[in-house]
């Protein structure tokens, strides 16, 4: 029986690439999304991957959504915490709402999604939790104090929970993408990309969503059973830890 994977924010961008890669590798995939029904329905029609709508910022919604997935697809073996938002602004102008929305989704969302599935993983003796953090959680980024704080928090979450899950066969790892060629990034003015962004990246190009998906595939596999509490920096050499 195929192992079951949930990918949050799994119908667009990096999340869509992860969902598709997991399905192609033989997993039974459920893709979560928060708000864009049109994109989610198109993704479902194109891939055949079932989609489930709830906000990862809402614990009760996560618990209910996970219960529905487990009833329809099966117990969750792999959780990819990919959902994330930005509410950028310089700190002196940042509102409490901008702070709260980002922390609630990008950091508390990990608790909300992981807490309901962790006991089952422990009892079955297998689990793979992969948290999609960010290069900006490693180095910080002006204008993204909220986002950088949340993504740095994801790394602390990863390291601590890895120690709790290891004895029960549950690994917890993180991936920190750099600039990835998603629809959002490719919408940036080409002149800005060429002048300000690409020169920061030693390999001289944007990453591709599929490159992040391949990192997830490895960490989700049996072959990665000895790797836990680790961070993969997938940034083309832009920031070396």
Listed in order, strand segments (DSSP E) in 44-169 are: 51-53, 76-81, 127-132
Dump strand ranges (E) for 120-166.
127-132
Q: What is the C-alpha R_g of the chain?
A: 17
The whole-angstrom separation of Cα 212 and Cα 177 is 7
Ordered strands of the 76-81 beta sheet: 51-53, 28-33, 4-7, 76-81, 127-132, 170-177, 231-234
Question: Which one is catalytic: 27, 33, 147, 179?
Answer: 147
Strand partners, 5: 29, 78
Cα dihedral 161→222→66→69 (10° resolution) = 180
Q: Check if 147 is active-site.
A: yes
User: Of 175, 237, 240, 174, which Cα lies nearest the Cα of 206?
Assistant: 237
Catalytic (active-site) positions: 147
């Amino acid at each position: 029986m195929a192992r079951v994977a949930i990918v949050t924010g799994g119908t667009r961008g990096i999340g869509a690439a992860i969902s598709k890669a997991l399905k192609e590798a033989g997993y039974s995939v459920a893709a979560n999304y928060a708000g864009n029904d049109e994109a989610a329905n198109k993704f479902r029609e194109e891939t055949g991957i079932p989609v489930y709508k709830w906000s990862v910022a809402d614990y009760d919604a996560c618990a209910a959504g996970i219960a529905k997935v487990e009833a329809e697809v099966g117990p969750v073996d792999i959780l990819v915490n990919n959902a994330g938002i930005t509410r950028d602004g310089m700190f002196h102008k940042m509102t409490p709402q901008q702070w709260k929305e980002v922390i609630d989704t990008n950091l508390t969302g990990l608790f909300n999604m992981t807490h309901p599935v962790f006991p089952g993983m422990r009892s079955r003796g297998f689990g793979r939790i992969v948290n999609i953090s960010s290069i900006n959680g490693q180095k910080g980024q002006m204008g993204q104090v909220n986002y950088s704080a949340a993504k740095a928090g994801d790394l602390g979450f990863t390291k601590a929970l890895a120690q709790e899950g290891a004895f029960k066969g549950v690994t917890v790892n993180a991936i920190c993408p750099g600039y990835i060629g998603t629809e959002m990034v490719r919408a940036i003015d080409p002149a800005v990309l060429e002048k300000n962004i690409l020169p920061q990246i030693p390999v001289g190009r944007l990453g591709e969503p599929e490159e992040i998906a391949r990192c997830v595939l490895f960490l989700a596999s049996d072959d990665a059973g000895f790797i836990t509490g680790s961070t993969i920096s997938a940034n083309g050499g832009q920031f070396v830890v």
